[in-house]
Amino acid sequence: MNTSAATTSDHWIATPKGRLFARCWQPSAPTDDCAPIVLLHDSLGSIQLWRSFPAALAAGTGRQVIAYDRLGFGQSDPRTDDIGTGFIEEEAAVYFPLVLRHFGLEHFVAMGHSVGGGMAVHCAARHADACRALITVAAQAFVEDRTRAGIIEAKASFQQEPSFARLRQYHGDKARWVLDAWTETWLSPAFAPWSLDEVLPLVRCPALVVHGGDDEYGSTRQPERIASLLGGPAKLAILPGVRHVPHREKESTVVDRIATFLATALPPRHTSD
């Protein structure tokens, strides 16, 4: 796969609480359908941690790909507040619209990894007229025992300096806040009842639900719940032997699945979006 076919540009997006850092990958041979794919990262994620995937996705689909560091993550400005239990819905309501406005997007494809998948679901529901398709990768639909066990294990591993140093590599001085925002929120009793059950039926666009068969943060009950409750047509893709980061473990496979899905669900349009 020729990932060099995409050129990049960096952007800063103003919000009431600080600036977001964003990056855009532009394919050399764009598809007739011009709805870009907007990526939402996971609980410890950033633009850098998408690694080669956005370029591969742009080249493989012929679509512009946009990723941004959520406030407090990566190169975006820091935050020190408690994100609270409503942070997933908040991303779709407060910050995502500013990304759409900055890039002038009238239509988009929402794609998220892990908790970013839940955010993508909320984006697809809240911005239903603009969202042409939804893609979730290793997303959680509710808090299950495997999710909590995986987080507890990860929290313990980050007590070791080498592991925490790797986190600092991507988030700098924000690393402790990033880690605590993930572990303390998801492990709190107040967050235990959280689910996507109410918002999933509000999503009417076509959806691709990707999940690793050996995901350490969620059993296949997670994607099955997502696919069954979505209000539009959904395609479920369980990847055997794959853990929580399918787009890194099986990059070419995931790009091919997405490209095929979009080509089928969103056939080329010969007029402007």
In this prediction, residue 3 carries a pLDDT of 45
Q: What is the pLDDT of residue 272?
A: 44
What is the full per-residue pLDDT of the chain (273 aa) written as tens digits? 444 467 999 999 999 999 999 999 999 877 766 799 999 999 999 999 999 999 999 999 999 999 999 999 999 999 989 999 999 999 999 999 999 999 999 999 999 999 999 999 999 999 999 999 999 999 999 999 999 999 999 999 999 999 999 999 999 999 999 999 999 999 999 999 999 999 999 999 999 999 999 999 999 999 999 999 999 999 999 999 999 999 999 999 999 999 999 999 987 654 444
* 259: Cβ contacts below 8 Å, ≥ 6 apart: 60, 61
pLDDT of residue 5: 64
**pLDDT for the residue numbered 196:** 98
In order, the DSSP letters of 117-150 are: HHHHHHHHHHTTTTEEEEEEES--SB--HHHHHH
Encoded tokens for 234: 């959904």
Going by the DSSP 8-state scheme, the letter that residue 70 receives in this structure is P
pLDDT for 29 equals 75
Question: What sections of the chain are H helices per DSSP?
Answer: 47-50, 53-61, 87-90, 96-103, 115-126, 145-157, 161-171, 175-186, 221-229, 246-249, 251-265
Comparing CA positions, the residue from 55, 70, 56 lying closest to residue 24 is 55
3-state secondary structure of 242: coil
SS3 105: coil
25: phi > 0 → left, psi -120 to 50 → alpha, else beta; which? beta
Map out the domains of the chain with their CATH numbers: 3-265 (3.40.50.1820)
Are residues 244 and 212 in contact, defined by beta-carbon separation less than 8 angstroms? yes
| pTM more than 0.85 | yes
User: CB within 8 A of 156, min separation 6: which ones?
Assistant: none
Question: What is the predicted pLDDT for the residue at 32?
Answer: 67
